[in-house]
Amino acid sequence: MSPLVGALTVGVGIHLVVALFLLLRYLDGRERLFGWWSLAYAFFAAHVFIEAVLAMGAAQSWYTLRHLLFIAAAWAMLYSFRPVWWSTALAAALALLVAGLRGSWFYAAVAASVAGGAGFIASAALLYRQEGGLAGQSTGLLFWGLLLTGLHALDYPYLRTHPSLAPIGAAFSGLFTLAFGMGIVLRAWQRTRELITMRAVAETLNRSLDTRGALSAALRQTVELMRLESGWIFLRDGTGFTLAAAENIPPALAAGGMTAMQGDCRCLQMLRDGQLTQAVNIVQCQRLETAGWSRPRHASVPLATAGGGLIGVMNLVLPGHRVLTPRELATLSAIGNQMGLAAERARLYEEVREKEALRGKLLEKLISAQEDERRRIARELHDEAGQALTALILNLEMAENAGAGIEPQRLARLRGIAEDTLAELRRMIYDLRPTILDDLGLAAAVRWYVKENVEPQGLRVTMSITGADDRLPHHIETAVFRILQEALTNILKHAQAHRAEIVVAVTPQDVRLTIADDGRGFDLSQVATRREGGMGLMGMRERAELLGGTLRMVSRSGGGTRVEAMIPVGEGPDGTD
């Protein structure tokens, strides 16, 4: 066996192994790129096989088939990056040209070498653009494998005519293909590592609802599996950001209880200004600069929620001169999304848990208030109406036993007692359930309540009621009236206000209620805390939310208070007061 045939035989084996591995990668993940690469190297292996057949003395007509297979390999590789019709048309035209030159071996070989070489060189350039450079080893091997294959194709007409150089050329062709194959293997290994990292992070985040603990564990795994130096995570806390997790943080930043990690910085400003919407490779870090770090930069990964909101950022310090590849940045973006979703899920769970606890506390207070109300009614009926009726009965008995005409003065006193008793009973009944709400509706009940209970206490009220001519479902009228009653009670008790404004707007879709005052206002965070206090506010909000509505309160010290409620008009629970 001649050296050329031996080199070409080894080359066929290398190209077939690469084509087979690419085919398996395609069948595993159905990635379009691997499918076309597999086809390209299958054509390439066939072209090398025909070259070996020619080296063993086959007819010269086989050269045309060899040239066409090489052009097909270059076309398949180019089409994998740029699937456009004109590349297919161009390849077909070049194939026809080569077939037309079969009478001249040299010109046919030059045309095929230039066409195929240009295709591989163009593929290398498209790979460079697609990957954003040669950041990773796998990308470098793929790029140089394609580029050198294309350049080496240009020397084919010269090497093939020199028996001593042809085996060397065949060996180099196999080496370039082997480099490309090594790039594929390395890329597959990196992809496996990225998937392992994502799975480990997802399992860690799903195991716990402790936000800081889960983020710390996930950050540790990310740093270890991605072979990074250190990292830290900031989470949004109100209007600012706080350090939620840190791993292998530089000593200069960890000193003094991590005081260097407090306050604002460049990456947080970018996040706040909406400039950090995806993972980026290099951010010049003010904290590392202040700490005297020799390379004060890191990669930054925003933490996003399901709705696209950004709730934090993960900063990762890279070793040496390493730069993350686009694929690694995409993986880190996916991890950042997982972290953001986990943090948001934990926050929502905590809010639900606190709300349920507060709901239980509210129900307990409501039951207690109901019992207190019953006791108050019993006591007032006994102390006020009961005693008055007893006095009325005694006086009637005295008049009956007198045996004479009843004195006018006594009759007047009896009438006064009866009238006072009736008024007292009516007041208690209206306090418990204003019958005007049942009889005349929401608008009349609001006007009556303001006139009889609010304005007599010195509060001037302006009212605007629109669209309330028709009756609403009684549970909606009750909810709106009770929200207004509670809001006005709070104004009278706490606001020290002089004026108040009431706006009731009824539409076919909803009822909107607004109560505003010019009182002293208050700090909502101090009064309406989640665990204690604020039961009046929670009671109003509960009434609105139970009917699918919302309630919003705005207040600040010295600036008055504004309560806005919206309750949809539609089929709802048959609520009772």
Token representation of residue 245: 């997790």
Closest CA to 335 of 278, 265, 296, 283: 278
* CA dist 229 → 246, 326, 523 (Å): 12, 19, 45
What's the full length of the chain, in residues? 577
- 435-568: what CATH class? alpha beta
The pLDDT assigned to 572 comes to 43
- 210-350: what CATH class? alpha beta
The pLDDT assigned to 532 comes to 41
Token representation of residue 2: 């001649």
Give domain 3-194's CATH number out of 1.10.287, 1.10.1660, 1.20.1070, 3.30.70: 1.20.1070
Q: Tens place of pLDDT for every residue, the chain, 577 residues?
A: 678 778 878 888 888 888 898 888 888 778 888 889 999 999 999 988 988 888 887 777 788 888 899 999 999 999 998 888 888 898 899 888 888 887 788 888 899 899 999 999 999 999 888 876 776 788 889 999 999 999 988 988 888 778 888 888 888 888 888 888 898 888 888 777 777 877 878 777 777 777 778 888 888 888 887 778 888 888 887 777 888 888 887 777 777 777 777 777 778 888 887 777 787 777 777 777 777 766 777 888 888 887 777 888 888 888 777 777 777 788 888 888 888 888 888 888 888 888 877 876 776 676 567 657 756 776 676 677 667 767 776 776 676 566 556 666 766 777 677 777 767 766 666 666 667 877 888 999 999 999 988 999 999 999 999 998 888 887 788 889 889 988 998 999 888 899 999 999 999 999 999 999 999 888 777 664 444 445 677 778 888 887 788 999 998 888 889 999 999 986 444 444 4
Residues of the chain with CATH 1.20.1070: 3-194
Residues of the chain with CATH 3.30.565.10: 435-568
Burial class (CB in 10 A: 0-12, 13-18, 19+), 195: exposed
Residue 313 phi/psi, 5° resolution?
A: -145, 145
At what angle are helices 32-55 and 62-81 packed, to 10 degrees?
A: 160
The pLDDT assigned to 360 comes to 64
| Predicted structure pTM score | 0.51
Closest CA to 432 of 390, 493, 478: 478
* CA dist 441 → 461, 464, 478, 549 (Å): 20, 15, 10, 20
The pLDDT assigned to 403 comes to 55
Burial class (CB in 10 A: 0-12, 13-18, 19+), 184: buried
Residues of the chain with CATH 3.30.450.40: 210-350
CA dist., res. 97 & res. 365, Å (int): 92
Closest CA to 577 of 443, 440, 430: 430
Token representation of residue 388: 């008055």
The pLDDT assigned to 130 comes to 81
Query: Residue 262's beta-bridge partner residues?
Result: none
State the number of CA atoms in the 13 A half-sphere of 197 facing the CB.
26
Q: Is the dihedral of CA 164, 170, 175, 180 positive or negative?
A: positive
The pLDDT assigned to 192 comes to 79
CB neighbour list of residue 576: distance below 8 Å, 6 or more residues apart: 475, 478
- Most distant pair of Cα atoms in the chain: their distance: 154
